Amino acid sequence: MIKFIRNILKEILLEPFLLRRLTIKIIKYLNLGRYDARLHYSATKRPQYGYCVYQAASLAKKLGYKKISVLEFGVAGGRGLLILEEHAHEISKLFDIDIEIYGFDSGNGLPAPTNYKDIPYIWKKGFFKMDYDKLVNKLNQAKLIIGEINDTIESFFTEYNPAPVGAIIHDFDYYSSTSVALKMFNHQDKYFLPRIFCYFDDTIGNSTSLFNDYTGERLAINEFNINEANIKITKPYYFINYTHTEDWHHQIWIIHLFIHRDYNTYISFENKQLKI
């Protein structure tokens, strides 16, 4: 409760839309109202996770899929994966669709940065090490994929035969490991939805990290787009129309698989005729 009050006082000093922000905090703290309404107003834990899963489930439902997969690259302590389970539980009920969850991590924390592209001035070897036994005992449905991403990304689809991937949480921090993770799209499109909703954690940062288009996750995204002719990672520009934007809106990206068998399947309103 003391921490909650301290955060409220901080908002009073820093938040330009004070009443809205305080209302959201109260709704989130007391868990008031329907899940989908709370998610819409970012009144949930890590709403960016919920957004990606919700949109993926919505798209899958429109396309007739019965099951999807959600991935987290970079599990670390595991709090994010546990929150992802909570979102998936609620969203699965809303759309009557099964959701598989997979978390990828070496288990040993960050490796040593490869070069400047991995931004060694903010990341160090050993950061974010996992307590595997403790985390496994807390997980309800998520599966941990432990190992170096170079190896696990190659064996994942044949070993687990996952439902089509519809949402990905990217939190590998480094350019090098993010680039490797994006190689997953070399596999058949049966393993993916035609559009995949992604959250890239380390793409905004602050005055210390200074994330940019030539290092880190942003560089991995840019190089991917240059090298891939039929798959692109893009921004969802409709957030621009939101009256109140959240920081995480700027960390959402959509992967478009243009030659996916379902990419052109119509999913919008049935009747768009305009009357005179």
Residues 80 and 141 in one domain: yes
- What is the pLDDT at residue 264? 98
Q: Pairing state of beta strands 252-257 and 192-200?
A: antiparallel
Q: Is 41 contained in some domain?
A: no
pLDDT tens, residue by residue, 57-101: 999 999 999 999 999 999 999 999 999 999 999 999 999 999 999
Give the count of domains, the chain: 2
Residues 187 and 116 in one domain: yes
Residues 9 and 122 in one domain: no
Measure the N-to-C terminal CA separation of the chain; round to a whole number of Å: 58
* Residue 19, pLDDT above cutoff 80: no
Residues 125 and 249 in one domain: yes
Q: Between the CA of residue 11 and those of 14, 59, 141, 168, 209, what are the distances in Å?
A: 5, 35, 36, 30, 24
**Angle, CA of 102, 31 and 20, to the nearest 5°:** 105
Q: Is 263 contained in some domain?
A: no
Residues 110 and 188 in one domain: yes
Q: Is 177 contained in some domain?
A: yes
pLDDT tens, residue by residue, 134-184: 999 999 999 999 999 999 998 999 999 999 999 999 999 999 999 999 999
Residues 208 and 84 in one domain: yes
Residues 71 and 184 in one domain: yes
Bridge partner residues of 195 (DSSP): 256
d(CA 89, CA 103): 16
Q: Between the CA of residue 133 and those of 14, 86, 104, 106, 138, what are the distances in Å?
A: 40, 20, 15, 14, 9
Domain that holds residue 74: 46-257
Tally of helices (H runs) and strands (E runs) in the chain? 9, 7
CATH of the domain at 183: 3.40.50.150
- What is the pLDDT at residue 9? 66
Q: Is 37 contained in some domain?
A: no
Residues 7 and 140 in one domain: no
Residues 23 and 134 in one domain: no
d(CA 204, CA 111): 22
Q: Is 269 contained in some domain?
A: no
Residues 15 and 142 in one domain: no
Token reading at 3: 């921490």
